[in-house]
Amino acid sequence: MKRGRQKRPGRRPRRVASIIREVVSQALVTELNDPRMTFVTVTGVDVSADMRVADVRVSVMADPKQQKACLRAIRHSRGHVQQRVADALAMKFCPVLRFHLDDSVKRSVSLSALIAKARAEDEAARADRIRRGVESPDAELQDEPAQAPAELPEDGP
């Protein structure tokens, strides 16, 4: 009988995923000399419940064409990386590595840039309002509640 709730991964799959992440990161950065691999980061590893498959998420900070070329290079070197993982794990079977492109880092960088741009525009608009006399330079300070200094406890006898 199947249960509706899925089981969270235990400690062993998390440990295996952590080791795989370290080994793959080291192999991609230090051991592979493919010019197509630039600015590669291993963002995460998900190991299946039976620990036969490991999905490795990589982030590539480049344009989409270079990202695809980098992912092809990583997949081409999978055998070498797989051997490094097998050497690092003391298991009967080494999980088969599958590489996937993860754009979360690139999205967070672009989101941070948008936030910085919006803040700069807000500051410019505020400076313009102050220059025109519509807003007081101290208006921002008045919006925040005043904090009373913390009282120090008196020394007892």
Is the domain of 68 the same as that of 81?
yes
Mind spelling out the 3-state secondary structure of 40-104?
EEEEEEEECCCCCEEEEEEEECCCHHHHHHHHHHHHHCHHHHHHHHHHHCCCCCCCEEEEEECCH
The whole model's pTM is what? 0.64
**Residue 126 domain boundaries:** 104-135
Q: What is the pLDDT of residue 41?
A: 87
Flag whether 6 is in a domain: no
Sheet of 53-60, strands arranged across: 40-47, 53-60, 96-101
Is the domain of 40 the same as that of 114?
no
Is the domain of 42 the same as that of 112?
no
Q: Per the structure, how many domains does the chain have?
A: 2
- pLDDT tens digits along 103-140: 777 778 888 889 999 999 999 988 888 888 888 888 66
Is the domain of 43 the same as that of 110?
no
Q: Is 133 left (phi over 0), alpha (psi -120 to 50) or beta?
A: left
- pLDDT tens digits along 45-84: 999 988 899 999 999 888 889 989 999 999 999 999 999 9
Q: What is the pLDDT of residue 72?
A: 92
Which CATH number does the domain housing residue 58 bear?
A: 3.30.300.20
Is the domain of 90 the same as that of 67?
yes
